[in-house]
Chain A
Amino acid sequence: DSGVTQTPKHLITATGQRVTLRCSPRSGDLSVYWYQQSLDQGLQFLIQYYNGEERAKGNILERFSAQQFPDLHSELNLSSLELGDSALYFCASSVRGGLNTEAFFGQGTRLTVV
């Protein structure tokens, strides 16, 4: 158990809908990362937050947004969903989000858009 909790584990929704994925980082970790994993694209970095502020942005679509709350949990909002958004979404956390720190991954949310 990595200590990172993601909910829900599975989500099935229709095209055009909006969903929210939730992540609770390990106790004491200030940095949260979101990744999307699909068969064709591999593991893609979406966005990183550190202590409530956005720190780095990757290949995140405009239809997607995220935030980190004062209690350090994070949410990833996906809207106007398309079939191609079906993927595993992972959250990871690390202590400082700085140099030479390992990331701890949650078990992921499997999103299926039908």
Chain B
Amino acid sequence: SQQGEEDPQALSIQEGENATMNCSYKTSINNLQWYRQNSGRGLVHLILIRSNEREKHSGRLRVTLDTSKKSSSLLITASRAADTASYFCATDAAGANSKLTFGKGITLSVRP
């Protein structure tokens, strides 16, 4: 079963624009992580935000977490064509042995 659900399912933007992707989840979490996957390749970890954190930055990435709404957003600023990929949020559920549960992902297309 999917814990996280990403929104939108697909996003197409112009190079240089910002991309905002959202994730909602159902149960309490230890942390929430965002991963990126290029077509048919392995997932690459982007950023981890703990349940007691509200915002985190890494380069052009900004992640927010609202545990009261059980939601997170990933913002990619000044997007590049190379950012074209699928993006997944993954939750590490509180109280359980650590296992990352992934959403179905968001397909981001950045047009040059």
Contacts and interface: CB of A to CB of B under 8 A. Distances in A.
Q: Do A and B bind each other?
A: yes
A2 B97 CA distance: 23
A99 B45 contact: no
Interface residues of A, number: 30
B47 to A, nearest CB: 9
B102 A43 contact: yes
Interface in A80-102: 88, 90, 92, 94, 97-102
Contact of A108 (B35, B42, B101, B105): B42
Contacts of B33: 102-103
A100 B92 contact: yes
A99 B41 contact: no
Nearest to B103: A42
A58 interface: yes
Interface residues of B, number: 26
Considering residues A31, A58, A97, A102, which has the most beta carbons from chain B within 10 angstroms of its beta carbon?
A102
A69 B1 CA distance: 28
B48 A99 contact: no
A100 B42 contact: no
Given A90-B42, A108-B42, A56 B31 contact: no
Given A59-B1, A107-B42, A108-B40, 13 more contacts: A35-B102, A43-B88, A43-B104, A45-B102, A48-B98, A48-B99, A92-B43, A94-B98, A99-B30, A100-B50, A105-B43, A108-B42, A110-B40
Interface of B: 1-2, 30-31, 33, 35, 40-45, 48, 50, 88, 92, 96-105
